[in-house]
Structure 1
């Protein structure tokens, strides 16, 4: 029993140390926000490594905001908050497939942004009736609005809007007429506006404006205030407020100087608001105030400069992104920002900049295929940078056509040869192969970049031509294929015969086919030593043979592709009976590769030149090396 209790306690301890899946909404339950401001709701989780979030309203209305999901939390941003955001918002969190949690928050809205505005009409004249007008701008919800009009602390008029059913912000007006006396001049008229919503926690709930009862004057001391300042960042809100001293209140008109020196009329209000500023909002703003009673006008100006990281406004290629070799090309990049950006315009594959920082332009006269590729424009200032890319497509005829042969251009009979043709061009060239025939004409044989020849034969030897072509031109390259054939079809002729007498000359002729031409080596096998004779053209001659010349001779016919050995037995008997014969016996051996040399001509020529008795030699008439 004791051990069981300890185990249970241990399991409970482990469960307590593992953090449970929880969630919360910040702020919790409800939030009161003023219309026009920014509101951020945050849905946060603990105890779940990879939660998934979703936001919705209780009545499935549009969210009216932007959702950003992060690793363990999600935000719903309303910028600015408007009347459409008056909802209960529900955040749902899933942890895996089984665990789910939800929490809601109520967004309550109000609008009470500025003090009342007092107008007194017409001009103040003792004994004549005047009307005091009090305007409370952009109030919501107006059914809680209470307004008091006072003179020197004494209540002249009281009005509420409890029955008002407005569903959006509205400017509410309270008017009161009375007959002023001479003692009323310079006394203060006060308008007190209250928005006492007990269930909403916000400040202020009361706004007060006072104005003296005086004669008509102004406008004067007109100024413009810029919030948050004269140089906001791009995307930030900007509010320009025009304030003047005037009785009665002035008519206000906003204008702006444009780049072309023209003037743009904006609005007729004392406040000019730009929710999301852009670089084009920079410029000189003019507030013109007009007192219609005194017929006087006054102006105030403010210079607004929008700052921020660059925006690339243009990246273009003229005349087109697809051009032909030889055309003139211009690549242009421009960007807007403040301070002005540094612009780098270059081809991505190049390490060096190709264009002016200030102009952001590249001129390519008579463009070539080497100029094609991706170009990038980078605009940068102290606030950041932006990047954009564009591709220049240069069309051109085939170039740099090359042929590669594997394993080599000279191969042995029976091997496999692969010839590959490559060529650059745009569009990609079409490759075809031709072979030069015996008549010298080119015969089409293959339409592909790779030409394989299996089990190559001697008839495959010859000139091969690769042609690359597209609509912009053609280019040709040729390669000669050599097929190496070992000596074959060898025919040996011994003249006058293999049995000769001392003093005679013997000629042995050999015909064979091979590629490349064969070389020959004549070797006499001897008991004590070997005698080896070689010749470039294969001619070997023994003059005035003796019995010592008798024996076995080996003829080795060979080239790079292989060899073949023939055996010849030479027998020598006694001398000829005619001792006065002028020309000794010659044993001549001639092997001709590819083309046979006429045997008779060789014998006549050699017989005239031979003067050596009983020795091995080559035909001196041919100037051969042994």
Structure 2
């Protein structure tokens, strides 16, 4: 027999001995499918005669959803709220599609097993995660110390309602109604029933909040972590309490440099104009915070100050030291005479302790030039280099040592082939001496003029014996020397005589050497024989041989000795 929904209801009203189990709660996600178990999933479909799902309405009345008898298909009620949204699973669980907030109610699974009837109520709750928070109506600027609406944070379409907290530099703000004031409002969507939360932050800013980052975060039970808005910063206005003066320039500051003074205030917004105090003179600069000193000098050294235009007491100062370096020394050409004394001096005027170095003809000197007696070799270009703190000054002079010329050496020699005579005149003097010979010559050459010395050479072929003069002169005087020069023929004859005399002396030396050698040999032989004869005599012994033999022996030895 097939039971209708109404007959089952009547049966239940009359004969049901209710056995109600403890209330179970499940949470479903908004818009998703929610599955409500019957008897916590412990009911066996083959043992159940009739299964019915119903729900409790707001007025405590009940509404039917569907009923299933034995192995037959479930029959759904005509409830418009659930039309097409509910069905049963194999284990008799109620499946509700597209969950709504209106699905938050108690659903009851009623089963008939044999002659017993059981009810298993389940509380269903629907949760909806809120949207990401956003900050709107934010302030464009804030007055320091004044409670001002910083902005409004909102998060929408949640269930239950989301909680909003405010953060400053990631640290939660706690309302104290003086510096921090929070106002929260929750609104319900008339169509969906979802909840939107709004929070307004009123804040009294301090100077340190100038670069602070404010954000709002959402806390909700359905979220694994909080949602945080994009951080925002605010312009905070506060008056200037102090200024600072910055000197912008190369270090160190040297004469001729440009120096910029920059005045900076701690107020917000900063002043657009400043007063610069330059050497006792007050200069107002509008729409700028800088003042430039061009081509500073040592007179620019001193204290400089900047201040607010309308308040000279809010000021700051800085000292500027301009480095300078002067060198005073004789320049150009310095002419001195030979054997005079000379000492180079220089006067340095500097802002500090400089380094001084000297050089002569680009070669470094260990000390400033100082001479007790000048020589021609002391002539040259002397340079003094003074440096300090990146400043370099140079000064130079040319020292010229002058003297009347002298002839150091006058010589003659034959050329290598013996056909000429080469005359050399070595002179010394400054300015450069001019060399003049008393005889004309050929192949005239002159060595480079170095350190006051010069050598002049000529080639001649003398046909007669003569005396040659060498004369040297400059603006300061002259000197002359003479030299006897013989003909080439006479020098050849003299050379031969000298060669013959030399050969005779050699021959005599050889003869004398031979005689001395012979005498030495004879003397040595005589000593030897004498020692031999003395050695043949023995004391107390009788001679062997006759008297005649002994005399002959002595004569023979005597002859040998004479030879």
TM-score computed with the length of structure 2 as normaliser: 0.34
Between Structure 1 and Structure 2, which shows a larger proportion of strand residues? 1
Give TM-score, length-normalised by structure 1: 0.31
